[in-house]
A and B are shown apart, each in its own frame.
Chain A
Amino acid sequence: MKVSEIMNSKVMSTTPLATTKEAARQMHDIHVGCLTVMDGDQLVGILTDRDICCKVTAKGRDAGWTKVHEIMTREVTTCFADQTIEEATDIMMKAHIRRLAVVDRNNKINGFLSVDDLARASHQLASHVLESSTTYH
């Protein structure tokens, strides 16, 4: 099975110069935990709700002043839409993460593949990802 068959194509984005407070409001309003950070049509990073908790609130920084580019993750772990779900699982396991950005061969973002999406295709692959994940949820 290919990643494209089970991935989530809904991609919500913010910009590097948005404040983390604006990003938090956006995550709240549209019920997502992860935003892509786009500079024009270039993917420059990923911002999660946990990033805001650990890098803004925990550090005593003001979300109204801290910009997205200051705390975003720049090295985004990706897979291709035409890769198999076994290959995508392997990438998640090696990086100890639960979510991948799905890009096309021009490095344009097409969506996300999360461990929840994987579970709908294979309980075994999803469980492997959970077992290798480093953060306890």
Chain B
Amino acid sequence: MKVRDIMTTRVESVKPTTVLRHAARRMSEFNVGSMPVVDDNGKLLGIITDRDISVYAIAMGHDPQSTEVQKVMTKDVITCIADMDLADAAALMKNKHIRRLAVMDNDLLAGFLSVDDLARASYDLAGAVLEAATPIH
């Protein structure tokens, strides 16, 4: 099975200049824990999570009304390609201790593959990714 068979393609994104308050509202509305940050040409610049917005930004004293997403986003996004085998993508998540990969197709962001998606395809791949993930309790 390939990544493209189970990845989530409906991806809500934010711009690098979106302010944190607005990004938080969109995450709340769309019921997601992270969003890709893309520029006007659709280029993937980073990832922003609910935790970046709440814990990191507040702990650092950034004002959510004026701080832009690009200031607190994670810039080193781990990616895979849509034609990759599921087992290889899961191995990549395990090795990097993460729960989510950005999926690229012809250099453009095509979707995300999360451990939630994996769980629908293979209990063992999802379980192994969870075991290796950096714990946030």
Contacts and interface: CB of A to CB of B under 8 A. Distances in A.
A75 interface: no
Given A120-B131, A124-B127, A127-B126, A56 B54 contact: yes
Chain A interface extent, by class: 35 or more
Question: Per DSSP, are chain A's interface residues mostly helix, strand or loop, or mixed?
Answer: helix
Nearest to B126: A127
A34 B137 contact: yes
Contacts of B25: 58-59
Contacts of B136: 31-33
A105 interface: no
Contacts of A134: 31
Contacts, number: 127
Nearest to B52: A53
A34 B58 CA distance: 15
A136 B115 CA distance: 10
A28 B119 CA distance: 29
Interface string A24-48: 1101110111100000000000000
A136 B21 contact: no
Interface in A2-57: 8, 10, 20-21, 24-25, 27-29, 31-34, 49-50, 52-54, 56-57
Given A114-B137, A116-B131, A131-B120, A28 B56 contact: yes
Contact of B116 (A32, A99, A112, A130): A130
A15 to B, nearest CB: 18
Contacts of A136: 8, 31-33, 114, 116
Interface in B12-64: 20-21, 24-25, 27-28, 31-34, 50-51, 53-59, 64
A126 B127 contact: yes
Given A135-B33, A136-B31, A60 B128 contact: no
Nearest to A63: B58
B99 interface: yes
B127 A122 contact: yes
Nearest to A131: B119
16 contacts: A10-B137, A27-B55, A33-B137, A49-B51, A49-B55, A50-B51, A52-B58, A53-B51, A54-B50, A56-B54, A58-B28, A63-B58, A99-B137, A114-B135, A119-B130, A131-B119
